[in-house]
């Protein structure tokens, strides 16, 4: 019975919501509004549930002196300071804690919470730079293509990128030509000829690449974003949506029961 | 030479952090600015708001918090400036409760700048849990979700709200997104109620939103700091985004150079192996 009742509620609710979508008239249309109201009310209560688990989990950590118990203590202290400060603002000063004149908004939110959260996120800039330097390697044709596309978009989407990009790509081509010439010295026969031809082609490419990037980099970056990027994104989205529909049907018809655990 | 190339592929991460820090700090301190022509999708967004008749209602949804503030706050401020300059009415709500005060602070600041009156020219509704349910109910009657504004004032006592009941009364919905709320706006406000939407987003999620723009499900897209900077240029009020754009340019070039250096080092080491 413990499993059957929730499964029955899920089935009835799911079916009624689908019917309400296709028949938005009484009584089904009204039903959807009622369900939405319930969802908003239940959503409010989930916050209480979330707070309960957060506080209990961290309190357990402090009680048992588990690793990171000091951070847990800070979390609980911050929670109650925020709570009492917010309520205090209303009870003692009769003003909304988010009013422009409220000390909660001015001091706690603006000068503590916002800088802390911004600082945490801004660290990402350093990690991304370091990770890009270490991980972005032209190991094979696929990664080289990804690398080139990323470089073109990164430079094509910033002002001044169009002036810098031709020089960077010309330098890369020059390095590549040098590499081919160097390889040709170590080989002989047909292989040597192939390396020399490759080096010459690379050198010849420098001017057209320089010219194209100098004049059309922004357009190339837009094209990458609007055509190949979008095609890949659509494919991913269609896959996710089909998966979502399949999972919803499995839940409605009681095939997927893991959410009951 | 080979030793130098090998070292190029193995720079200490602390040196990289220092280089990035100096690049960002210097460009901000010297207030460097680079000029760029606004992206077509940003121009389109600007034009749509610019063409709205005076008195039209624009609804802003604050779906970000302090972590995305450098990109989205300047965007919000530039768009609010545009709305108030054009005498448009602004309603603000949001689905990220921790970020909503940022929207409120920006709204109060810009409204003060343009001598706009609360209740008549702009209203701040606040937050209600339920995301999709809130979006769907807004399409039927705003009062069924927000009976009062954030101060507890009944909506009918605010002159601006008297004739605003659902999406039919809102000319444009502007969603400022750092997550997936923008997808929900498209699915529930556009697909169900045909609401015109402009999305402003962080650079990370902008590629996710391009398909909506191409399919006509959103009418405009303002992506990342570049989008915010473009909008500031269009409203002729360069501010934080234009300043940040110079740092971003320098850092992008630096990252490309670092990747290049890393690859040179990688090939030098690989040949040796």
**Is the same domain home to A26 and A81?**
yes
- How far does A132 lie from chain B, in Å, by closest CA? 6
Q: Please indicate, yes or no, if residue A49 is contained in any of the structural domains.
A: yes
Provide the shortest C-alpha distance from residue A17 to chain B (in Å): 12
Number of independent structural domains in chain A: 2
Tell me whether residue A250 is in a domain: no
Are the beta carbons of B155 and B177 closer than 8 angstroms?
no
What's the pLDDT at A185? 87
Residues A213 and A103 in one domain: no
Lowest mean pLDDT among A92-101, A139-148, A194-203: A92-101
Tell me the mean pLDDT per 10 residues along chain B, length 273: 74 92 92 85 96 96 93 96 97 92 93 95 92 90 92 92 95 95 94 95 92 93 94 93 90 92 83 60
Same structural domain for residues A117 and A171? no
- Let me know if residue B166 belongs to a domain: yes
ipTM value > 0.85: no
- pLDDT tens-place string over residues A175-204: 889 888 888 888 888 889 999 999 999 999
Count up the domains in chain B and report the number.
Answer: 1
Q: Could you tell me the CATH number of the domain that includes residue B173? A: 3.40.50.10160
Residue A24 included in any domain: yes
pLDDT greater than 90 at residue A239:
yes
Closest residue to A132, CB basis, from B98, B152, B258: B258
Q: Is B251 on the interface with A (CB under 8 A)?
A: yes
Q: A193 with A80, same domain?
A: no
Q: Quick one: A190 and A74 in the same domain?
A: no
Domain that holds residue B89: 40-237
In a domain, B199, yes or no: yes
By residue range, what is the domain housing residue A210?
139-226
B147 touches chain A (CB under 8 A): no
B139 touches chain A (CB under 8 A): no
pLDDT of res. A20: 84
User: Which of B:176-215 have CB within 8 Å of A?
Assistant: 207-208, 210-211, 214
Residue A154 domain flag:
yes
Q: Among A102, A128, A154, give the residue marking a domain's end.
A: A128
Shared domain for A68 and A174, answered yes or no, is no
Residues A118, A175 within the same domain: no
Residue B1 is predicted with a pLDDT of 66
Residues A60 and A172 in one domain: no
pLDDT the model gives residue A85: 85
Does residue B228 lie within any of the structural domains? yes
A188 and A112 housed in the same domain: no
A163 lies in a domain? yes
List C-alpha distances in Å: A259 to A47, A49, A57, A157: 19, 17, 21, 43
pLDDT at residue A67 is higher than 80: yes
Q: Are residues A111 and A180 in the same domain?
A: no
Q: Give residue A110's pLDDT.
A: 86
Domain-embedded: residue B3: no
Does the residue A100 lie in any domain?
yes
Nearest CA in chain A to B132: A36
Would you say residue B251 lies in a domain?
no
CA nearest to B223 within chain A: A157
State whether B36 and A171 contact (CB < 8 Å).
no
Q: Is B16 on the interface with A (CB under 8 A)?
A: yes
Which of B1, B132, B230, B252 best probes binding to A when mutated, by most A CB atoms within 10 angstroms?
A: B252
Task: Work out the average pLDDT over A215-222.
Answer: 90
pLDDT of residue A164 exceeding 70, the answer is: yes
Whether residue A48 has pLDDT greater than 80: yes
């Amino acid at each position: 019975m413990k499993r059957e009742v929730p499964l029955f509620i899920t089935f009835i609710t799911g079916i009624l919501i689908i019917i309400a979508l296709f028949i938005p008239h009484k009584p089904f249309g009204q039903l959807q509004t009622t369900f939405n109201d319930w969802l908003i009310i239940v959503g409010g209560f989930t916050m209480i549930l979330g707070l309960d688990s957060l506080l209990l989990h961290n309190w357990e950590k402090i009680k048992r002196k588990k690793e990171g118990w000091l951070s847990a203590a800070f979390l609980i202290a911050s929670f109650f300071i925020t709570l009492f400060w917010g309520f205090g603002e209303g009870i003692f000063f009769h003003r909304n804690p988010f009013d422009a004149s409220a000390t909660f908004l001015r001091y706690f939110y603006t000068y503590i919470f916002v800088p802390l959260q911004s600082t945490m996120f801004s660290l990402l800039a350093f990690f991304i730079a370091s990770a890009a330097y270490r991980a972005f390697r032209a190991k094979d044709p696929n990664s080289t293509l990804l690398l080139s596309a990323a470089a073109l978009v990164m430079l094509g989407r910033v002002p001044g990128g169009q002036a810098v990009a031709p020089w960077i790509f010309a330098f890369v081509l020059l390095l590549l030509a040098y590499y081919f010439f160097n390889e040709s010295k170590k080989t002989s026969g047909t292989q040597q000829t192939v390396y020399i031809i490759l080096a010459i082609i690379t050198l010849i490419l420098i001017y057209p690449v320089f010219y194209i990037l100098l004049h059309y980099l922004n357009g190339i970056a837009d094209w990458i974003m609007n055509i190949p990027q979008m095609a890949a994104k659509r494919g991913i989205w269609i896959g996710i949506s089909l998966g979502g529909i399949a999972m919803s049907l499995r839940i409605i018809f009681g095939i997927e029961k893991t959410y009951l655990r | 030479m080979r030793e130098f190339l090998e070292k190029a592929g193995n720079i200490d991460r602390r040196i990289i952090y220092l280089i990035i820090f100096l690049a960002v700090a210097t460009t901000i301190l010297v207030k460097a600015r680079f000029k760029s022509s606004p992206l077509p999708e940003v121009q389109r967004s600007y034009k749509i708001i610019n063409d709205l008749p005076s008195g039209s209602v624009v609804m802003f949804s604050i779906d970000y918090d302090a972590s995305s503030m450098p990109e989205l706050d300047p965007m919000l401020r530039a768009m609010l400036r545009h709305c108030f300059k054009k005498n448009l009415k602004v309603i603000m709500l949001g689905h990220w409760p921790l970020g909503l005060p940022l929207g409120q602070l920006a709204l109060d600041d810009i409204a003060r700048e343009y001598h706009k009156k609360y209740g008549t020219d702009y209203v701040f509704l606040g937050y209600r849990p339920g995301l999709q349910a809130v979006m769907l109910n807004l399409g039927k009657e705003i009062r069924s979700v927000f009976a009062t504004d954030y101060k507890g004032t009944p909506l009918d006592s605010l002159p601006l709200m008297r004739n605003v009941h659902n999406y039919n009364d809102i000319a444009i919905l502007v969603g400022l997104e750092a997550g997936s709320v923008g997808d929900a706006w498209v699915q529930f406000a556009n697909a169900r109620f045909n609401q015109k939407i402009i999305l402003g987003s962080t650079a990370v999620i902008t590629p996710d939103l391009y398909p909506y723009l191409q399919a006509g499900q959103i009418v405009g897209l303002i992506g990342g700091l570049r989008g915010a900077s473009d909008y500031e240029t269009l409203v002729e009020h360069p501010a934080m985004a234009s300043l940040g754009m110079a740092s971003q340019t320098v850092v992008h070039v630096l990252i490309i150079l670092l990747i290049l250096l890393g690859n040179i080092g990688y090939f030098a080491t690989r040949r040796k192996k």
